[in-house]
């Protein structure tokens, strides 16, 4: 739960403060890895068919998760087809359906994980946590970042898409931009096995 996450976070921050030399004001920069359904997703359609006549077949990039309008009766069928992954038994890989593209906006900043819906009406996620951190001296985009990902995919598929390369570069950039201060990774839910895969397979030391 979010309350448990807050307890773990401030326990971590307490340890960081304890290990910081006397007089130092640097905070350990933070990268947040969201959980299942915790990243916004955008879609682009160029399909030849759809479940219903009112489903879009051609549409430029639009928010598909979270978009509450997608969950109206019957319209949810359009959503399900656009979000569904296809498995290739020959290559052992997953992919989007033909003529459907899905991307994850906002990598490196926190805007798309603070609220999962773009209207910021429902789907509040990391907003309260980040607001609490700003009161402790953290600044969005400087020493606190988000690392959203396509939560439909398993870690090995994320690796093939280059997610972990982007994450590694974000960690390095954050480290260097904060006077080479150790970076704290905070995960939630599915974000934890996702980051564990990164630490076990993508990090040499």
Spatial distance between the Cα atoms of 205 and 100, rounded to a whole number of angstroms: 38
pLDDT at 11: 40
* Secondary structure of 89-128 in HEC code, one letter for each residue: CCCCEEEECCCEEEECCCCCCCHHHHECCCCCCCCECCHH
The answer to whether the beta carbons of residues 172 and 180 sit under 8 Å apart is no
Q: Taking the complete model, does pTM exceed 0.75, yes or no?
A: yes
Cβ-proximal residues to 98 (8 Å cutoff; 6+ apart), any chain? 47
Per-residue pLDDT tens over the stretch 59-110: 999 999 999 988 899 999 999 999 999 999 998 889 998 999 999 999 999 9
Among 107, 203, 202, 94, CA closest to 152: 94
pLDDT at 100: 96
Spatial distance between the Cα atoms of 188 and 36, rounded to a whole number of angstroms: 8
Sequence length of the chain is 205
pLDDT at 15: 40
Spatial distance between the Cα atoms of 24 and 173, rounded to a whole number of angstroms: 21
Looking up tokens 């260097």, which residue turns up?
176
35 pLDDT band, cuts 50/70/90, is very high
Q: Which two tokens stand for residue 91?
A: 């290559």
pLDDT at 203: 84
Report whether pLDDT(5) > 80: no
More confident residue, 116 or 20: 116
Per-residue pLDDT tens over the stretch 112-168: 999 999 888 889 999 999 999 999 999 999 999 999 999 999 999 999 999 999 999
pLDDT at 187: 97
6 pLDDT band, cuts 50/70/90, is very low
């Amino acid at each position: 739960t979010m309350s448990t996450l807050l307890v773990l976070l401030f326990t971590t921050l307490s340890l960081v403060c304890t290990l910081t030399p006397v007089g130092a004001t640097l905070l350990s920069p933070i990268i947040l890895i969201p959980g299942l359904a915790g990243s916004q997703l955008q879609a682009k359609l160029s399909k030849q068919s759809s479940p219903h006549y009112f489903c879009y077949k051609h549409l430029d990039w639009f928010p598909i998760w979270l978009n509450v309008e997608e969950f109206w009766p019957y319209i949810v069928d359009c959503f399900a087809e656009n979000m569904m992954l296809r498995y290739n038994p020959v290559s052992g890989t997953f992919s989007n359906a033909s003529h459907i593209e899905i991307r994850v906006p906002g990598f490196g900043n926190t805007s798309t994980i603070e609220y999962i819906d773009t209207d910021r009406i429902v789907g509040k996620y990391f907003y309260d946590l980040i607001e609490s951190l700003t009161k402790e001296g953290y600044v969005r985009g400087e020493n606190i970042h988000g690392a959203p990902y396509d939560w439909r995919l398993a870690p090995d598929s994320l690796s093939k898409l280059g997610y972990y390369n982007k994450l590694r570069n974000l960690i390095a950039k954050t480290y260097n931009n904060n006077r080479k201060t150790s970076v704290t990774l905070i995960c939630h839910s599915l974000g934890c096995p996702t980051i564990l895969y990164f630490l076990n397979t993508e990090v040499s030391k």
